[in-house]
Structures are given as C-alpha cells and as structure tokens.
Structure 1
Amino acid sequence: MSKGRVTVVDIAEAAGVSKSTVSLVLQGSPLVGEATRARVNAAMRDLGYVYNRGAANLRQSNAKSKIIGVVVNDLTNSFFAELAVGVDMVVQSAGFVQFLANTGESIDRQSEVIASMREHGVSGLIVSPARGTTAKDLKPLVSAGIPVVLVVRNVPGAKVSSLVSDNRAGTVAAVEHLVSLGHRRIAFIGGFADTVVFAERLEGYRAAMAAAGLEFSEDLVVPSAPSRAGGVEAIGRAMLLAEKPTGAVCFNDAAAFGVCDGLRARGLEPGRDFAVVGFDDVIEAQTAVPALTTIAVDPQGMGRRAAQLLLKQINADKADAEAITGAVRLVVRESCGAGQGIFGRKMA
C-alpha cells in the first residue's frame, strides 16, 4: 500500500478487486454484486478512506465548499432544533448552508454521517457527540485539518474547539432556589449517567445540597433517558420511595416536561403539589402549563456562538482549539410554586 493518502489502488489491493470495480462501488453502480460491494466497503473502512465527491465532480482544486455540517445526538429534543436555528442565522448570512443530521445516540451512525458530510466537502462541523464518543473517534477530523466545534457535550482530549454550558452552576442555582422555598427532599431526575454533562450537573446538585446542610441520598438520583418519556418513567420510580421527594431538579427541560406528565398521572399538580425545575429554557418552557422554571442556556444563542467560532476557524484556515463555557441563569416561573408560598408553609 502507498504511504500517506489512501488511494483507489490501495483499496483495490486490499479488497482483491480491480481499480475499476472500486470505482463502480464508489459510484453506487448496480453492476457490482453485494458480496464484492461489502468487501470493498470493508476495505475502505479499514483503511480510513473518505471518498471526495468534490474531486469526483471535477470541482476546481482551489474551490471552497460552502457547506457546514451539523451533527446532533437527539433531534427529537427541541433544544437541538433551536440550536440548529441559531447556527443557520449565522452561516446563512455568511453565504453557507448547513447539512443537519441526527445520530440518535449511535456512534456508528455518527461515523456514517460525518463520513458522508466529508464526501460532500464540508468546510467544518458542529457536533453534539453521541454517547460514548472518544477522542479517537474524532482524530480523523483533526488529522485532516477539518475545523470542528463540539457543542453541549465535550470530549476529553479531542483537541477540537468546544462550547458547553456551565452545568455545575446551573444545578447549584436550581437546588438553592428549591431550598429557599422550603424543600428538603429534592430529587435529581433524568439524564444518562455515563455522560460528562450528567456528571457535571450532578456535581452541582450534590454541592448545593451539602451547602444547604442536606444529606445526599443516592435514592434521590434517578437517571433516565433525557426525554419526555424518560422523565415520566423516572418520576414514577422516585414516587415509589418510602420518603418521597417534594421537588426535583431535572437534567433538561424534556425530562422536566415528562416529570410534569408523570405527576399529573398520579393526581399531583406541578407547581402546587410538587416543584419542578428544568435545564435549557427551550421555547416551550415559557408556554407550558404550568410555565416551567428552568436554567436558561439560550439554545439559539449557543448555535450562533458555535457557528461564529467555526467560521472564525474556517476563515483563518486553521483549527486552533478553543474551550468556551457559556453562562447560565435561573428563570423562575410557575412549575416550582414560587410566589405561592405553599411549600414553605408545608415544610418550614
């Protein structure tokens, strides 16, 4: 095999086929049998080959793509839709278009969509990594000099730019607020326990509980999928405890909406019988009934900042890594019962 860049000849040798057969596979030709196609694709994966459609389409070698790839882990969460809107605001005004892809928390799918975007000659990538993503998974992008900005979730050691929220400060503020309303049994609900974001938000929860003189209880930490369905399931488990919580800091707004649904299914009204605080402040938080108290992250603003950071790297023709932690703030609405005085009277 030749040294340096992998070629069609290298793939042909590895797969035991002709150069023309490899070319047919790359073109998606129906003339190639499935077994041969699978063998060629396996060789390409093993060698780390990425098909350059731009070159295949005879683009000028000095032409720059005007495409930004946006890869998110859960597009069913409205947070990421809002983030994508923020990205679009910036890239559109700069003459770029975004390609948006959802991985559904699959690292394999993530690899596929990133490879596909590279085939189409993206100028840079904004990625909210799937669970379990490591620096090794992102190394090919770094080696190729493709500008990358990670959002929401960071990947330790990845050597790419990142833009995340101050997760610890957010849950500290949420717990402090519930304590000020008279709560002592405060649950931490939702989120995948094997993610950095979960660890950071749980750390803030634990620190604030300790600062308030409240004992930390593992029973009150109830991980689940960070989704509406996950919130319903998690609050169901929490309400089975012998000493039930009276309020909850939720991993995100999606889980918080699910907690509200689950409470109502048990005849309890959020904001009256149980306090709920979310994390994100998606658009729906303001119009929900009751309106959701939450930690505001500004998803659209995060998208705009991520796009600005990526465009700066693209225009500078280099990918120097920057790590940015965005400030968050508590937005008090109705779901925590603030202003009603009900929890303070019950538990004082």
Structure 2
Amino acid sequence: MASRAKATILDIAREAGVSKSTVSLVLQGSGLIRPETANRVRKAIEDVGYVYNRGAANLRKAHSNVIGMVINDLTNPFFAELAVGMERVFQSAGIVPFIANTAENPVRQEEVLKSLMEQDVAGLIVSPARGTRPDAFRRLETAGIPVVFAMRRLPESRIPVIAPDNHRGAYLATRHLIAKGHRRLAFLGGSSDLVVYHERLGGFREACEAEGIGPDETAIVEGETSRRGGMACLDAVLALPQPPTGALCFNDAVAFGAMLALRKQGLEPGRDFAVVGFDDVVEAEHYIPALTSVAVDTPGLGERAAHVVLKMIQSRTTRAEDHIGAVNLVVRESCGPNRSHETRIHSPGGAA
C-alpha cells in the first residue's frame, strides 16, 4: 500500500486560509495571532494530520543568521557611516548582513522587504524611505520578525527607533547662528512628510522664538536632502526681497550644496553667509570652509541598532525601547566671525 505524503505547513495554510507565516507563529505559540485565527489553524492541523517537529524547527532557527540592513540612501555619506557601524557589530557576532539601498523609493523598499521575508531573515534594521506607508511593516510585525528603525520613525508605529536628538541638535545650531549676530535665518532642505524634518524644524523654531525672532524674519524651504537640493534651496532664499544671512541645513549634504550655490552667486560661505549642517559627516571637517555641524555619533548609532536587533532576536521579541542619542555642535569656519552689524544681500549677484 502506498504511504500517504506527509502533511506540510503549506497544507495547513491552504486548509485554514491563512499565510505560511501565520501557521508558523501558531506552531510557536506566538501571542500575535488573534484567538479565532489560531483556533482555525489548530483545527486545520488536526484535519491534515500534521506533526510538528519542534527539534527540527529550533535547529533551523538556531542557524538563521541573516539580518537585513535596508537603507534609504547609501549615496549619502551619513547613511554609509551608519551602515559601517551596524556591519562592524554583525561581523564580530558572526552574522551575515544583507544590505540594500532603496534610493528613497518605497516601492523598491517593499520589494526588498518581501524578498527578505521569503529568505526567512532573522531580523531587520530599516531606515524607511520617503513616502513609506504607516502600515508598510505590519506583515513583518505579524510574522514576529524583529525590526528596528534607524534614524527615521513612522507616525504611530510601535517599532523601536534608534536616532539622534534631532530637536536639541537643531536648537543648538540655531542658537549658535543667533549668537553670531544673525537675525534673519533660514531652514533649508528636508520634506514635511518626514518625522525627522519636523523634529529639526521644531528645534529651529524654538530657538528663534526664544530670541524674539518672528516668522517674518525666517524662511523655510523644503527640498531634496542632497547637494542639488541645497543649491536649489539657497538660490530660492537669496531671491527673497529680504534674504537671510544664515541658514541651518537639514543635513550636511544640503549644507555642502548651499555653499556651492553661494560661490556661484559670488558670495563666500562664512564671510557673506553663515551655514550650519547636521550629522557632521567625515567630509565636514575637510570642506572649505570647514563646516560647522551638529555632531551625531553615526557609527555608534549604527552599532546600537545592531545590538538592539540581536538582543531582540535572541529574546524572541519584537519590542524594545527607543534610543535617542546625544548630540553636540562642532564649531568650525562656515559661520565666520561675529557680525558687528547685519549685512544685507541686495541681490543674488553680490552683497552690500
């Protein structure tokens, strides 16, 4: 007599009308599955005659050592430094990291996440792309895969976040510009669909309000978080009837672009217009003039994110505390000397 083929998880999933990952969670006794769904899966297990080999499952779990690093923009030196910090921890732990660059494309991000789930990834560190839907990570949470957000958070998400103190960093940078004598200020770059943008803009506005600088004395220009974006933002504020004399940029890449745009207009960064960046990438110290920037322990944050996801995997949990890293302002040359009086820029072609 021919023996009956052994039932599989796929047979259970088909019988219960659920996904393979849902069946796996029920078999593991996860509390993430609704009781009615879990009961339906258990009935299907009995109906198809499935026998769960827990020893084999644990062996497979023990040998799952692939962790995904899904980064929004690896062309930005900041995120490259962040990834290096993560990889350093994984290498010392004997983990093979899989790294993907989504190029700020949420569709590409979704494809990468789906592929990693199919490869039975043990955990994920993600810096979400712009335009990521709030529910984009729900399937991962349901599947019980540990996920940590690096640098960016999503509104109302419970996924733990590793990020710098964006509000305080922007506040310190803006106070520095004001202490230099600047009263007309700009915030350049970034997009209002990012939580980090509102955190940094909030610090900028708080510092301005504390010093009695009103909205009519500030200019806020959204733009790409790149050199090209910085150039476009700087050109926009110089065209204003009363242009600002200093700017806090969303990140260092925007600041580098702003300084390039100043020179194209015949103005010298530091001397004619003060520029402050955010992130303090390696290039900031060696730029001409050297860029004043909010220092973030980028490799340290990457290492922290890696340690957190490893601990989550070992503890078999999807929950962890957020970590907000300390920041400080590194003062260099891009803000120039203190201003004895305001210099008004009459036109994009020069300064009076």
TM-score (norm 2): 0.80
Give the match for residue 283 of structure 2: 284
Pairwise CA distance, 1:158:
2.2
Q: How big is each residue's C-alpha offset from its partner over 1:145-195, in whole Å with a ceiling of 9 and x where there is no partner?
A: 111100111112322211122111111101100110100011000001221
1:83 aligns with 2:82: yes
Give the match for residue 72 of structure 2: 73
What is the identity, as a one-letter code, of the residue corresponding to 1:309?
A: V
Separation in 2, partners of 1:321, 1:314: 11
Pairwise CA distance, 1:111:
0.7
Distance 1:81 1:223, change over 3 A: same
Question: Residues 1-348 of structure 1: matches in 2 within 5 Å?
Answer: 1-3=14-16, 5-6=18-19, 61-217=60-216, 220-337=219-336, 340-341=337-338, 343-346=339-342
Any conservation in 2 of the 1:152–1:163 contact (CA below 8 Å)? yes
Higher mean C-alpha deviation, range 318-327 or range 245-254: 318-327
Q: How big is each residue's C-alpha offset from its partner over 1:24-79, in whole Å with a ceiling of 9 and x where there is no partner?
A: xxxxxxxxxxxxxxxxxxxxxxxxxxxxxxxxxx9963443211111111111111
Distance 1:106 1:71, change over 3 A: same
Separation in 2, partners of 1:5, 1:105: 32
Separation in 2, partners of 1:2, 1:108: 31
Give the match for residue 35 of structure 1: none
What is the identity, as a one-letter code, of the residue corresponding to 2:166?
A: N
Any conservation in 2 of the 1:142–1:159 contact (CA below 8 Å)? no
What is the identity, as a one-letter code, of the residue corresponding to 1:214?
A: I
Q: How big is each residue's C-alpha offset from its partner over 1:270-308, in whole Å with a ceiling of 9 and x where there is no partner?
A: 111110000001111111111110001121111011111
Distance 1:120 1:218, change over 3 A: farther
> Which of the pair has more CA radius of gyration?
2
Separation in 2, partners of 1:217, 1:149: 40
SS at match of 1:220: strand
TM-score (norm 1): 0.81
Gapped regions of structure 2 (runs ≥ 5): 1-13, 21-56, 344-352
Any conservation in 1 of the 2:184–2:218 contact (CA below 8 Å)? no
Distance 1:2 1:344, change over 3 A: farther
Any conservation in 1 of the 2:183–2:217 contact (CA below 8 Å)? no
Distance 1:333 1:90, change over 3 A: same
Cα RMSD for the two superposed structures: 1.8
Any conservation in 2 of the 1:172–1:205 contact (CA below 8 Å)? yes
Any conservation in 2 of the 1:134–1:158 contact (CA below 8 Å)? no
SS at match of 1:344: coil
Pairwise CA distance, 1:344:
3.4
Pairwise CA distance, 1:6:
2.6
Gapped regions of structure 1 (runs ≥ 5): 8-57
Pairwise CA distance, 1:5:
4.2
The size of the alignment, in residue pairs, is 294
Distance 1:318 1:179, change over 3 A: same
